[in-house]
Every structure is written in structure tokens, then in C-alpha cells.
Amino acid sequence: MSSLHKSRIADFQDVLKEPSIVLEKLRELSFSGIPCEGGLRCLCWKILLNYLPLERDSWDSILAKQRGLYSQFLREMIIQPGIAKANMGVSREDVTFEDHPLNPNPDSRWNTYFKDNEVLLQIDKDVRRLCPDISFFQRATEYPCLLILDPQNEFETLRKRVEQTTLKSQTVARNRSGVTNMSSPHKNNAPSALNEYEVLPNGCEAHWEVVERILFIYAKLNPGIAYVQGMNEIVGPLYYTFATDPNSEWKEHAEADTFFCFTNLMAEIRDNFIKSLDDSQCGITYKMEKVYSTLKEKDVELYLKLQEQSIKPQFFAFRWLTLLLSQEFLLPDVIRIWDSLFADGNRFDFLLLVCCAMLILIREQLLKGDFTVNMRLLQDYPISDVCKILQKAKELQDSK
């Protein structure tokens, strides 16, 4: 470890040991990258995302309260519905004229359960392929959720719920003429997502299952937006960072801490995921156009070239902005970019500048390329040096 790096760690420790943390100092340090040693990044992200307050004395009580609240969410939204479903399937008196599996009433427990399954299946499909370039999310977590995996009770896990739902839909399929086709669940001609990864022993669960639970609870608590594809790419780096915290005491609560940090982050970017707001001033279309208006201001020649080739920002900037660049770079680089994003007081204005910097840094290639070449460049960004990109974005910010 270099003396410069040791000095940066000491600077962070000095700021974080104050009884009342000075946010501007923390932001200034974090903008240039947060060391991962000693759990510094995990702690800084929790503060920068407004999960932990600036007063250190209140941390323990707030963490205990929020983690207890998350346990309550698990009981109410995963454990209890599973118990209720089991009862509804066994106890005939629960299947009444008013509430039965075919009841179209939106307040029906069955109807709610089936609608939740639709959301859960989409979440499951997405989290199983999270960060395929690393094996982390397929590995077993050191801290499985004992509340759900209680050996004294056979509570229904989300994975079991997905398996049962998928099995039913595969076993009984209705063809176009209305004839029911009964196929054997043991004859699987195509590989299923459920079989992609090795099944872990009882009492264990993979990291992707934890992420699945976080997203399902979020969808239940936020029915107005529920789950939109891509949210998995936002929660993934957050969870990875907290679940690899060297502080085992905090690492054990990575699930709950990730949930609340993700919720706070989504409160700032959720408009990007709401289609009805796309064309409003807070929607994603406005932000994509802002990337081009900033580019026009900073590099009019490049702007005119992209306009001439009819390369719209929707073709590439939609993904860049909505997913906070999580699909454009490897996970360690994404985490480094997020250090700067979370540290900036106007963090998503800075994201626009990062996107603009990405265009300017490949301007020579874009000016020479035709439509096909340039689309390939923008959809598979060629520069991996994120520090160079962030430095350019900072220059653009300072030149305003």
C-alpha cells in the first residue's frame, strides 16, 4: 500500500470519527474515490445515500430500528403470505364463495398472491443473470436469512414459490384450440433458468436470492412503480459493496442496509423508470436531451456529426442514464463511478456530464465513423479507464 493511499485512508478516518460529520468534507474526499479498506466505502455510501445521519451517536439506534423494520417486512410480505397460501390450499373453509382462486376481486387474497407471482417471476429471471462476469451472486452468502430459513418451520422461500409457479405453468399448458396439454415436468427439452445454477444445500441461499428478496419487498411497498426491469442492475452494486464489507457485524445486515439505501436511491431516480413521465421535465427523455444540449455547448462539431447521422440519444443514453452506467463497465469500475456520483451534491447533473465526457473522449473515432461504426462504439463503449472519464466530467463541470 502506497504512502499516498495510507494518507487518504487516514483522511477518511479523521472525517468519519467526528461526533458530527461535516458532509462537505466527506463529499470532497469521496468524489476522488473511496478506499475499500476497513469498510470505509460501505460506511460512506450509507451516509451519502442518507441512510445514516451525520451524528454518530444516533447510528446504533437507527440501524437497530431499520433492521428490525426490515425483519417485519419479511414476516408480513414473504412468510405470512406463504403460510396463508398453505392454509388456503389445505383448509377448505378458506375457499369460500367470496374468496376462491378464480375470484376476480382485486382485494382477494388469491388475486393478490397471483399478481405478486407475476412480479416475482420477472424479478427472478433478472436476478439470476446479475453480473454474469463474476461468480459472486451465484455463491452462497455467509449470512442466510435465518428468519425465513428457520429449520423449525418450513416457510416458503421465494425460490420455492418461483419453482412451484413455473412448474405449474410448464405442466399445464393450454393450446390455441383450448385442449389442455399435459406434459411431464421431468422431460425438459430446453434448459430452464431454474436449472442454470447448482442447487445449494438446505439452509443455504445464494446472493442472488437475497437481491431477489430486496426487490420483491420494494415492489410490494411501492405498488405505483413495483418492479421494472433494470432495477436489478441498480441494487446489484449496492448489495455487492455491503455484502463484501470487511466488518462482519455490518456485513451480516447487508440485506436490510441494501434495501434502505436502494429505496433512498430509487427515490431520486424512480422517475427514470416511470414510462408516463418520460416526456416530462423530470423524465428520462428530458435528461437524454440534456446530454445532447450539454454536448452542443462543449463540442458543437461532435454534436452536429451525431445529428447529421441521426444518432439519437435514445439509442445509447437511455441505458447509460437509467442504469447509472452499471452496464457499460465492469463492476469494480461501476463502484468507482458511483463513489463520485453519490459524493456530488447534484449527483445526477454530474451523471449527465459523465455521459457527455464519454462522448468527447471518443470524439475522433465518432467523427471518422459512419452510422454503423458509431452505434457500435456507443453501445459497446471502448474506454475502460473510468478515472479518465471522471476527470473529464469534472473538467466540464468546472468550466461551466
- DSSP 8-state symbol, 20: B
In a domain, 174, yes or no: no
Q: What is the pLDDT of residue 273?
A: 80
pLDDT in tens, the chain (400 residues): 788 999 999 999 999 999 999 999 999 999 999 999 999 999 999 999 999 999 999 999 999 999 999 999 999 999 887 665 555 554 434 444 455 455 555 656 656 777 888 999 999 999 998 998 899 999 999 999 988 887 777 788 888 888 877 655 443 333 333 333 333 333 333 334 444 556 787 888 999 999 999 999 999 999 988 999 999 999 999 999 999 999 988 999 999 999 999 999 999 988 888 777 667 767 788 899 999 999 999 999 999 999 999 999 999 999 999 999 999 999 999 999 999 999 998 878 899 999 999 999 999 999 999 999 999 999 999 999 999 999 999 999 998 6
Q: What is the CATH number of the domain that holds 316?
A: 1.10.472.80
Select from 244, 273, 302 the last residue of a domain: 273
Question: How does the average pLDDT of the chain come out, rounded?
Answer: 85
In a domain, 309, yes or no: yes
The answer to whether residues 279 and 268 belong to one domain is no
Q: What is the pLDDT of residue 308?
A: 97
Nearest to 355 by CA among 390, 304, 315: 390
In a domain, 46, yes or no: no
In a domain, 137, yes or no: yes
Q: What is the pLDDT of residue 169?
A: 47
Q: What is the pLDDT of residue 191?
A: 38
Q: What is the pLDDT of residue 186?
A: 34
The answer to whether residues 307 and 344 belong to one domain is yes
Q: What is the pLDDT of residue 110?
A: 57
In a domain, 42, yes or no: no
Residue reference for cell 447487508: 254
Output the pTM of the full model. Answer: 0.86
In a domain, 331, yes or no: yes
**Number of structural domains found in the chain:** 2
The answer to whether residues 352 and 211 belong to one domain is no
**Domain span at 285:** 275-398
In a domain, 177, yes or no: no
The answer to whether residues 351 and 279 belong to one domain is yes
Torsion 281-283-287-293 (CA) sign: negative
In order, the DSSP letters of 138-207 are GSBPSS--TTTS-TTS-PPPHHHHHHHHHHHHHHEEE-TTS-EEE--TT--SS--GGGSSPPPPTT--BH
The answer to whether residues 239 and 280 belong to one domain is no
Q: Give every CB contact of residue 297 below 8 A, 6+ residues apart in sequence.
A: none
Q: Which amino acid is at 358?
A: M
Q: What is the pLDDT of residue 396?
A: 94
CA distance 3 to 136: 31
Select from 248, 273, 298 the last residue of a domain: 273
The answer to whether residues 246 and 380 belong to one domain is no
The answer to whether residues 225 and 254 belong to one domain is yes
In a domain, 283, yes or no: yes
The answer to whether residues 160 and 296 belong to one domain is no
Q: What is the pLDDT of residue 86?
A: 56
The answer to whether residues 214 and 332 belong to one domain is no
Q: What is the pLDDT of residue 160?
A: 85
Select from 254, 273, 292 the last residue of a domain: 273
The answer to whether residues 156 and 302 belong to one domain is no
The answer to whether residues 224 and 329 belong to one domain is no
The answer to whether residues 354 and 245 belong to one domain is no
